[in-house]
Chain A
């Protein structure tokens, strides 16, 4: 592991505990490291500091020194240096550590400051927690409990503000709940680079709004919902659907591009309700694109393949594999793998191709990168295919060469692992000419034309790994049970490998990884269970010369360079 460069450490004392932290660290972060909670609303570690909520007020002091000799003044009672406490509280978010600084967070003054801010935030707050989506993950609720007085002295009328303002297609604003922390404004300006939000009106009547004629419709708009500390911004998709405390959280990875944003999939009783970003400071910080959040809808989308079919008739996996074995025996087989498959599936796909002596191809999906978290390569795992040796060069967008082989009669059977061959450029005539063994999740032209159809699982229904653009291997876990009638991808592939005369391989991720670690040099000594939650950077130097499609983005610099840690910030 590469050690970070040594930085100047500054020692501060927080509630009597000494800690050395890097220069420039603010008091909230320093306090966090000694286990002291400094509450806040407007502060966000990934955004600029504005210091407007005043919740993080703390008491500061400096060690007393004799003005003449500069020698520390020792308090005879304690035998330690006396501390001159500053009577005016300071914000923890906007105050950087300085040598010899002392901080108190448990004094009466700090307690009163927090009680005061809490009371002020609540006087015009609607207190509609029973119908608020944020309930259960609301900072205002948590900190009112932790730091508030617990009763109200407010007998006036509360301010009335708009309750349902659509800021954009995916974000709804309840103005009465807004505490004007400006996190969403700063996010749009600083991270999404789409300066579209601002306040109008003054004082307590201030209102969040879009600039005239603009909408909050950039592809990162839902991050504002995530960072909203209260229930002011809600997702139109998730709004009023489910109480958050009923939801199970599963670690996953955004499969929409090779950026590989880390995600949390929130589900209950087999149904997914939302996807939110999961913090990974080396990949996506705490952000993800809106487009990745709706991917869960594919799980219950129309056209989901629900049964094994052989020659159009409903069948079972065993018969399908036997039918495929018959086709394999005739020879002339080609394998089309997928950059959307997990690394484990790609490993098995390679095994299948090797067993069949067939060439393996991938279909590339290159679009335009947004420079943030949707990269140009819309396949999440092309690098996985490189790592396991399924392919050795970057795929092309169409299967022209395969089409030519079909036309020439060289190829008579095509195994497609999740790729729609028609969409990848094969004509209807070509599809009609070959026997297709199709593994996939949703019906399409290939599944319609296939002799053997094996329904498989979406990324939310299985576990595995993707290798993102940084060559970082990241795990995703099964969030919900697979659709009825669908086969485990690994099981189906392992059976096909065996049917093709290949080795008998484990069909679960754990046992498969023993084979992977043994065969794939880059992954040697690794196991699935040992991959950290925030991924592991692989040695991608062997492929550094390939002309990858991705451009510079958050935490990514192309041309085999090291990930740019601070990219896209400030």
Chain B
């Protein structure tokens, strides 16, 4: 079955000839029309539209956006804040970057609509330190929007006021965790907060109720406000509505960003038809479907079970190529849609070395607050580094798994799972590579060329 056509909702203009990131171009293409209409409506109506749309967060966890908003403590009398999570740091993910760099006003429009819907008067865009250009673009876009009275004390003459600020991070992965981000925004070390009691919806930024949404999620809000929640929910598949941007990287012929209706495309279609398949002479070996923390999938493995299709349960028997790229299907087979970063590895990749790379990242980025992740991530990194650079032992695979098992589920934030899942899944699915790594290292290379270390 050939792959469906891309449905570009968020990335509609991204690659258009002559499309620039200034206000004039955005307005020329119908920009801020949705905001104009939205501010004439009741805020609750927009919240209802988002609830009806079934929009799920695009940052990684896939939490329903409308539910998140409905958890806000609106009776506290404290101001409500919106924090835009533009700390896109999950390895393999580069969708928010394109939105910010090429279409910043789309993000601003979505953000201001979200603010209006939730009676928020202050929004903060927390952008990772590695995007200095993006921060400048956003600041210019905010200035333009303010000049045009789209942001400011009296938006479009409605009396509703909303300010948007850009805050640059200092380059830490953990700032993408919402409570770590809030701490960082408050000027502190980004140590994630314990939940309970510090749920952002109740005790968020400056201990006030706070919405933290991903960049792409807020762009979707704009489209929901435009077409209505009902119409939006018909895009994609039930419970997995809308479109999704996949950032494909690694061993495919045409890596890049692709936007499809959620669940309408399978992994095989995405990698073979859309991305052109494996590089010449290679075969796919493994794919990480949702950013580097998602559990890896091994080409050749089968997933069997029962799933809900409409109202009845149906049997499924999928290879990796058959998996529909939606939140629920990926969760059902033990991994996740995550941030949409699809990392492909072919038969030239050593899984031990790949895991060594991932472990190096997570041990470098662990904030160090709580014990299991702090010590476990570095321990795993030391083991894989020793395997790659020195002496691998047959017991290293089981040891790695045991260390990872001691992290997941026992930490303050989801980083524990993020750093444990790669190891757990790599060992579970490629255990033989780990146990045989010592011999492989010792053996001469087939072409006789000594390995460069």
Whole-angstrom CA separation of A94 from B289 in the bound complex: 34
A108 part of interface (Cβ distance < 8 Å): no
Identify the stretch in B51-59, B73-81, B311-319, B406-414 within 8 Å (CB) of chain A at 4 or more residues: B406-414
A78 part of interface (Cβ distance < 8 Å): no
Which one, B371, B386, B411, contacts A121 given CB within 8 A? B371
Write the B102-142 contact mask toward A (1 if CB under 8 angstroms, else 0).
00000000000000000000000000000000000000000
Write the B367-410 contact mask toward A (1 if CB under 8 angstroms, else 0).
11111101111110011001000000000000100100111011
- Chain A residue numbers with a CB within 8 Å of B233 are none
The answer to whether B365 touches A203 (Cβ under 8 A) is yes
Closest chain A residue to B395 by CB distance?
Answer: A153
The answer to whether B372 touches A120 (Cβ under 8 A) is yes
Closest chain B residue to A182 by CB distance?
Answer: B369
Identify the stretch in A5-13, A45-53, A285-293 within 8 Å (CB) of chain B at 4 or more residues: A45-53
The answer to whether B399 touches A153 (Cβ under 8 A) is yes
The answer to whether B366 touches A204 (Cβ under 8 A) is yes
The answer to whether A123 touches B379 (Cβ under 8 A) is yes
With contacts A121-B375, A124-B375 taken as known, whether A89 is within 8 angstroms of B410 at the C-beta atoms is: yes
Which one, A55, A91, A113, A119, contacts B194 given CB within 8 A? A91
A330 part of interface (Cβ distance < 8 Å): no
- Chain A residue numbers with a CB within 8 Å of B367 are 202-203
- Chain B residue numbers with a CB within 8 Å of A206 are 368, 374
Which one, A89, A157, A202, contacts B172 given CB within 8 A? A202
A568 part of interface (Cβ distance < 8 Å): no
The answer to whether A51 touches B406 (Cβ under 8 A) is no
B189 part of interface (Cβ distance < 8 Å): yes
With contacts A123-B379, A154-B379, A180-B374 taken as known, whether A202 is within 8 angstroms of B365 at the C-beta atoms is: yes
Closest chain A residue to B393 by CB distance?
Answer: A155
The answer to whether A50 touches B378 (Cβ under 8 A) is no
A241 part of interface (Cβ distance < 8 Å): no
- Chain A residue numbers with a CB within 8 Å of B409 are 87-89
The answer to whether B194 touches A50 (Cβ under 8 A) is yes
Whole-angstrom CA separation of A180 from B410 in the bound complex: 17
Which one, A53, A153, A204, contacts B363 given CB within 8 A? A204
The answer to whether A49 touches B406 (Cβ under 8 A) is no
Write the B342-382 contact mask toward A (1 if CB under 8 angstroms, else 0).
00000000000000000000011111111110111111001
A116 part of interface (Cβ distance < 8 Å): yes
Most buried by A among B172, B407, B410: B410
Which one, B378, B386, B412, contacts A51 given CB within 8 A? B412
A183 to chain B, nearest CB (A): 14
A51 to chain B, nearest CB (A): 4
Which one, A57, A91, A180, contacts B368 given CB within 8 A? A180
The answer to whether A54 touches B368 (Cβ under 8 A) is no
With contacts A54-B370, A94-B196, A154-B379 taken as known, whether A120 is within 8 angstroms of B406 at the C-beta atoms is: yes
The answer to whether B412 touches A203 (Cβ under 8 A) is no
The answer to whether B369 touches A52 (Cβ under 8 A) is yes
Write the A93-126 contact mask toward B (1 if CB under 8 angstroms, else 0).
0110000000000000000110111011101100
The answer to whether B371 touches A52 (Cβ under 8 A) is yes
Whole-angstrom CA separation of A87 from B408 in the bound complex: 12
- Chain A residue numbers with a CB within 8 Å of B410 are 54, 57, 89, 113, 116-117
With contacts A57-B410, A119-B406 taken as known, whether A203 is within 8 angstroms of B366 at the C-beta atoms is: yes
- Chain B residue numbers with a CB within 8 Å of A123 are 375, 379
The answer to whether A53 touches B364 (Cβ under 8 A) is no
- Chain B residue numbers with a CB within 8 Å of A89 are 409-410
The answer to whether A54 touches B411 (Cβ under 8 A) is yes
A12 to chain B, nearest CB (A): 16
The answer to whether B375 touches A52 (Cβ under 8 A) is no
The answer to whether B378 touches A52 (Cβ under 8 A) is no
Most buried by A among B191, B365, B372, B376: B372
Which one, A53, A87, A153, contacts B371 given CB within 8 A? A53
The answer to whether B370 touches A156 (Cβ under 8 A) is no
A28 to chain B, nearest CB (A): 14
- Chain B residue numbers with a CB within 8 Å of A157 are 382
- Chain A residue numbers with a CB within 8 Å of B189 are 198-199
The answer to whether B386 touches A156 (Cβ under 8 A) is yes
Sampled A-B contacts (13; CB under 8 Å): A50-B369, A52-B412, A89-B409, A91-B194, A115-B406, A116-B410, A117-B410, A120-B376, A153-B402, A202-B172, A203-B374, A204-B363, A204-B377
Which residue numbers of B lie inside 8 Å of A, CB to CB? 172, 189, 191, 194, 196-197, 363-372, 374-379, 382-383, 386, 399, 402, 405-407, 409-412
Which residue numbers of A lie inside 8 Å of B, CB to CB? 49-55, 57, 87-89, 91, 94-95, 112-113, 115-117, 119-121, 123-124, 153-154, 156-157, 159, 179-180, 198-199, 201-206
The 10 closest A-B pairs by CB, nearest first: A116-B406, A120-B375, A206-B368, A156-B382, A203-B366, A204-B378, A51-B194, A203-B368, A52-B370, A52-B369
